[in-house]
Amino acid sequence: MDTRLLTTFTVLARTGGFTAAAAELHLAQSTVTVHIRTLERDLGVRLFDRLPTGALLTDAGRRLLERAEEVLDAVARLRAGSAEAGAVSGRVVIGSPESLCASRLPGLVAALRTSHPEVDVHLYAAGTRECVEGLRSGRLDLALLLEEETEFPDVTSEPVGREPLALVAAPGHPLAARERAASWPELAEESFFLLEEGCSYSDALARRLLAVPGTRPRLTRFGSVDAARNCVAAGLGLTLLPLTTVTEELRRGRLVRVEGPGFPAAPVRLARHRRRWTAPAAREVARVLVRHLGD
């Protein structure tokens, strides 16, 4: 069987659309259609239902998907084995929370460009749920999760570091000049600008604030560190962010740390698909990443 047909099949299963699959594979849409029809004819089953909203896997398609991924993994292993004598090369896509993409991972990319110039690293900002789905679909090779534990049967993870957190406000905020740490009831009376749902430390803070009886904390969620940080710097409230993302603002005096109940550092976990083969380039990136985050 032509493995190109299986590649087209897995990409179409992931993207859910012939146009999107053609764009990713750099093929004409008609070629994608021919590949799928050929595969369906060879196997004697219908793999997709063609709907106005896209291509939906049939039961037969879902059964084939895992086997197709295993075959393509085996082919990738064979190709990698024949090239192991040369320099490590290839494309590696890492999913990561936006805060790590902005503050910690640029240094990783710079280090890899020096030590492994043939490795092309792409960063994709995403929360835990999207990262896990990316690993499952094959769109991501590796992912960083800001989670204490992960309980996904098809994803394995290991702790690789911890990110200290900082509760910050603008210099003129009433809580900024106090020597005494703010209590939970006092914090629950404030406005907070937090990262979007799915950010583990933001979600934990929101739950704790909402649990204070008799208060109604004002919580605004953003998908961007910059948006939350700029609202707080403008004097609109407080935020909890990784220290690395506010270091420059603290140094320049745009933000100040607020003494609070204490927030444990957020654990960083390196995740990958449990069954899918990890290519040499991704293994090397993972090795450098563990060293980089552990410093």
pLDDT per residue as tens digits for the range 241-282? 999 999 999 999 999 999 999 889 999 999 998 877 777 888
> What does the pLDDT average to over 214-233?
91
Both structure tokens of 162: 């911890």
Q: 62-76, 90-104, 215-229 — which is least confidently predicted? A: 62-76
Per-residue confidence (pLDDT) for residue 179, from 0 to 100: 82
Integer CA distances (angstroms), 61 to 34, 65, 74, in order: 16, 6, 20
CATH superfamily of 165-264: Periplasmic binding protein-like II (3.40.190.10)
Integer CA distances (angstroms), 42 to 11, 27, 66, 131, in order: 19, 21, 18, 34
Per-residue confidence (pLDDT) for residue 76, from 0 to 100: 67
pLDDT per residue as tens digits for the range 74-94? 776 666 555 555 567 788 999
Distance CA 135, CA 259 (A): 38
Task: With CA atoms as reference, report the closest residue to 176 among 188, 165, 167.
Answer: 167
CATH no., domain 90-163+267-294 = 3.40.190.10
Task: Kindly give the pairing relationship between strand 165-169 and strand 238-242.
Answer: antiparallel
Per-residue confidence (pLDDT) for residue 15, from 0 to 100: 86
Tell whether domain 3-82 is in CATH 1.10.150.530: no
Domain residue spans in the chain? 3-82, 90-163+267-294, 165-264
Asked if residues 266 and 76 have their Cβ atoms less than 8 Å apart, the reply is no
Residue written as token pair 């603008």? 170
Q: Which residues of 251-269 are buried (b: 16+ CB within 10 A; e: fewer)?
A: eeebbbebebeeeeebbbb
Q: How would you class 290 by CB atoms within 10 Å of its CB: exposed for 0-12, middle for 13-18, buried for 19 or more?
A: middle
